[in-house]
A and B are shown apart, each in its own frame.
Chain A
Amino acid sequence: MSLPRRAADLVRSWPLFRQLTGPDPLGRGAAVESNGPRDHARTADADTVTRSVCPFCAVGCGQKIYSREGRVTHIEGDPDSPISRGRLCPRGSSSLSLVTSPSRLTRVRYRRPGGTDWEDLELGTAMDMIADRIIESRARTWEDTDGEGRVLRRTLGFAHLGGATLDNEENYLLKKLYTALGAVQVENQARI
């Protein structure tokens, strides 16, 4: 096919061109549909459909997660939800991009003190180092009592931030662990 011919085909397949020249001048039908193969929906070949909840705001819209061979292929609103009745907003509709983003972190990144770039680190090594840092900071800053003899049994040597995007079960384990370690500076986005 010659180049001008290919260019002409491309222009003819452009939705705006089809709308202006075809039988759908208002652009409410076939003119605005994409040119890709439409033999089946992305949801049709999913091997699992999982019930979930949108991770953005606190309305709590229902989501159905379609996946195939261990990869998420589609996310859409759950029509059974009495909260959302199948709807998702722009943010909720972007959930698939959130999950499958090519820029997502998948490896541990480590920056040593004074370092100018990231380094690689094994996850297990990182977890061990973090446990050591907590134990060391806690030992350095532990307070049994204050100057007036009031019981404290705590450390102000390390702190935590985050929770409003975590699960209840995650917040529970974190609060339980930190409290047992004597850490009180445990906070998240909420004030009450």
Chain B
Amino acid sequence: MAEAHPVGFQWVMEAKARGARIIHVDPRFTRTSAVADAHVPIRPGTDIAFLGGLINYVLENERDFREYVVAYTNAPMLVREDFVDAGDDDGLFSGWDPETCSYDTTTWQYEGADVAAASGDRDAWDSDTHQPEMRRESHRLTHLLGQSESAGSGGATVTGEPVRDDTLQHPRCVYQVLRRHFARYTPETVSRVCGMSPDQFRTVAEAICANSGRERTTMWIYSVGWTQHTVGVQYIRCASILQGLLGNIGRPGGGIMALRGHATIQGSTDIPTLYDLLPGYIPMPHAHKKMTLADFVEADAASKGFWGNMPAYMVSLLKAWFGDAATAENDYCFDLVPRITGDHSTFTTVLNMIDQKCEGYLVLGENPAVGTTNSKQQRLGLAALKWLVVRDLQEIETATFWRDGPEIETGEMRTEDIGTEVFLLPAATHVEKAGSFTNTQRLLQWRHQAVEPPGDARSDLWFAHELGLRIRAKLAGSGLSRDAAIQALTWDYPTEGVHGDPDAHAILKEISGVDADGTPVSGYTALRDDGSTACGCWIYSGVYADGVNQAARRVPAGGESPAALEWGWAWPMNRRVLYNRASADPEGRPWSERKAYVWWDPDEQRWTGHDVPDFEADKPPSYRPPDGAVAQDAIAGDEPFIMQADGRVWLYAPTGLADGPMPVHYEPEEAPTRNALHPLTRANPARERFVRDDNPYNPSDHQPGSEVFPYAFTTFRIAEHHTAGGMSRWTPYLAELAPEMFVEVSPALAAERGLEHTGWATIVTARSAIEARVVVTERMKPLRIAGETVHQVGLPWHWGPNGLVTGDAANELIGISLDPNVHIMDTKTGTCDVVAGRRPRGPELPTFVEGYRKRAGI
């Protein structure tokens, strides 16, 4: 955190100065470790074993916050009788289908509750044929799509009343299911898998237990070290289970804090440039023979919690996009929205480019030619395109692959043979345009424009608007049905400035929502499903309340409130801590005076406190839903988790995940060791693999050929560069501070391979070989794993061939294997060889790598 988010880290230091204990769990000893109270080393890719060990420690010693657990989590819910936990040997839950490599999740459900059908099932309902092959196809599709077609980020809906045992004694209640599941993660097992000592582990376990409960809270902070794995989602699930058991969610000083890597990466998922989502985590519709708007929202309409208002969110979105053309009679133009049929993520799309199925590509502020896993595959995709548009500040590698990319040097491509037409458009910087970023805490902050961009440089807002104007003009006279959506689109924005930029305020107002008169709405509870409101992103609704740009608020220090409520605007409804109703007990009283945050004021009959309550302000703790209540009315006054279908923290996920209702330790795609817990299932069985010539995998786990790639590698960032370097390698100060690609190795590995400090090393995988300056450092520790010594090396990933400072990109080395839930790639683990000296140049490079493949039998 001190490296990648230095200014955020000041608050960790401030907490330390006030007595907080800081524990840093990381494969490498970093600038964060240097100022932490303890550094706990861990082998990359083993955090489920570590977190599972902590969960086991909490459960075995009954250190959970019992009142919180009983009242606010699904610990009392009973799981169906036919659910079978992951086996000791095979690590597989009930429902596994080896043929499709996916799960039928039926047996994972609660007893007494039905779960809304996932995608694909709808056609089976239509024909009323619940044939086994139909079911299998439906599960395969759900698996491919990575999520169900309902409830957006809620993942799934639960209807009916699950059976509960509030004593937590029933053998099938979630609490007991968890106890049995995590019992295998003993301190000794954790040590064997993760490489830390049992004592180090116990120290951490004791520290977090002692620092949780009524009077104290513990916070977990993570970054892509937790997410970029084939089990990335289950890492976060594991942390949620632990924090749920300890009562650390919805309370001040608690939570699971994601430190995201780009200025508005949070915003770009809220208002998604993502294939499977519409704004506000509404799922993209999947392909069906027949599906009306009512069918689409049906799965949610009867459910509990705020997702129950999905019809209002969806109709308001369609009204924002299609305006007067969207009417009740034509289903608000729902049939104009395109349908998805599988994984259309960036990785699959690039494979389609190589296979000549996708012919055009627009790349805005991203640099996949060095910034994306298996970079060569990305460049092969770029070279197979008919046309490419790149918008950036500098001549980044994605724009110049045809002239001086690595494949030109090796002779694998010839410039004259590359048929891609390239448009490189200069972009405006953050000070040359107005607009909002959403930071990692869901806070929208407005940037005012300082100056005009130079020359042809324009904002991406100008580009999107101008492109839309030109396409609409060209298709205005078309009678084709495929052009109906672009013709009906509302695209009439006021423009300003010398370049005719669309007014960003007008767009923020559309995102926030208006009523039938065009008056800004107060927030998402004002949205209706009758076409009388229009709103571009329901979770951002209210950011333009009262006609005021709330994101531009800059009261010094955020005003009087400790939550700094008058600085910017956090979604939803300016709430700074999500689910903060959980900071009070079921009766609405703070769990302790020390940790008071939001509470029920019986005199005023309202929720009050230091933050905007994440609860209906006048719903008393005693409220019980009447029979047949839906949406928020079905949430009782003592159920804080208002977006969940049962109002509770899910310690066990009865639905919504593709790879299990509880996390299981699997080894990464490429690991230097066996799976010590489940020997028959080495890696996540549901992970997404791409077995192709341009994506070979190293043999793993003592398989023949694995000795060719004997070392483990992980990737990391440093304070002086930003991501793949597009915003730092062209900057003189940053370039000078960190001028060269390097590899961190331990003294032991340096001795084993004859590597010299500040000399060169070549790192090789089945994909490619790169060179880097050697940094011999005690920061990289060899690990003892299952009785063997495993050497690991660390690679920053900020360099590429262009810019003021150049170097090989770490992404050249990494193959694509993905988590099945969100299709995130594993960049944090892999195996490699390391040899002294620079890598071969020109045509000798592919020959060199081919030699490794042959020796490994690939």
| Chain A residues within 8 Å of B, Cβ to Cβ | 48, 50-62, 65, 67, 70-72, 75, 80-85, 87-95, 97-99, 101, 103-118, 121, 123, 126-135, 137-138, 140-142, 144, 146, 148-177, 179-192
User: Which stretch of B109-117, B202-210, B265-273, B578-586 is in the interface?
Assistant: B265-273
| B17 CB–A CB distance under 8 Å | no
Interface pair B431/A65, CB less than 8 Å apart = yes
Interface pair A58/B261, CB less than 8 Å apart = yes
Nearest chain B CB to A55 CB, angstrom units: 4
CA distance A185 to B403 in the complex (A): 27
A109 with B399, Cβ < 8 A, contacts A116-B416, A152-B338, A156-B357 known: yes
Q: Can you add 16 more A-B contacts, CB < 8 Å, to A54-B263, A91-B720, A187-B275?
A: A58-B440, A103-B394, A114-B417, A130-B387, A130-B389, A132-B474, A137-B387, A150-B341, A158-B361, A162-B365, A167-B436, A171-B264, A173-B464, A184-B338, A186-B273, A192-B824
Interface pair A103/B730, CB less than 8 Å apart = yes
CA distance A132 to B266 in the complex (A): 32
Q: CB-CB contacts of B381-411 with A at 8 A, as 1s and 0s? A: 0000011010111110001001100000000
| B185 CB–A CB distance under 8 Å | no
**Complex partner residue of A110 from B269, B395, B422, CB under 8 angstroms:** B422
Sorting the interface of chain B by its residue count into under 10, 10 to 19, 20 to 34 or 35 or more gives 35 or more
Q: Which of B329-384 contact A (CB under 8 A)?
A: 335-341, 344-346, 349, 352-353, 357-366, 368, 371
Nearest chain A CB to B551 CB, angstrom units: 9
Q: Which residues of B contact A82 (CB under 8 A)?
A: 557-558, 564, 567
CA distance A132 to B475 in the complex (A): 10
Nearest chain B CB to A77 CB, angstrom units: 8
Interface pair B270/A168, CB less than 8 Å apart = yes
| B556 CB–A CB distance under 8 Å | yes
Nearest chain A CB to B17 CB, angstrom units: 14
**Complex partner residue of A177 from B349, B448, B468, CB under 8 angstroms:** B468
Nearest chain A CB to B686 CB, angstrom units: 16
Q: Which residue, A87, A127, A161, has most C-beta atoms of chain B within 10 A?
A: A161
| B651 CB–A CB distance under 8 Å | no
CA distance A190 to B260 in the complex (A): 9
| B36 CB–A CB distance under 8 Å | no
User: Which stretch of B91-99, B455-463, B597-605, B844-852 is in the interface?
Assistant: B455-463
| B421 CB–A CB distance under 8 Å | yes
Interface pair A94/B734, CB less than 8 Å apart = yes
Interface pair B467/A130, CB less than 8 Å apart = yes
| B447 CB–A CB distance under 8 Å | yes
Q: Which residues of A contact B337 (CB under 8 A)?
A: 153, 179
Interface pair B7/A162, CB less than 8 Å apart = no
Q: CB-CB contacts of B418-441 with A at 8 A, as 1s and 0s? A: 111111111101111101111111
Interface pair B321/A176, CB less than 8 Å apart = yes
Q: Which residues of B contact A60 (CB under 8 A)?
A: 263, 437, 439-441, 443, 445
A55 with B727, Cβ < 8 A, contacts A92-B7, A151-B288 known: yes
A153 with B733, Cβ < 8 A, contacts A83-B439, A99-B431 known: no
Q: CB-CB contacts of B207-242 with A at 8 A, as 1s and 0s? A: 000000000000000000001000010000000000
Nearest chain B CB to A61 CB, angstrom units: 5
Q: Which residues of A contact B271 (CB under 8 A)?
A: 168, 171-172, 175
The 3 closest A-B CB pairs, nearest first, are: A167-B435, A60-B439, A106-B455
Chain B residue, CB-CB nearest to A160: B362
CA distance A99 to B730 in the complex (A): 11
CA distance A128 to B471 in the complex (A): 9
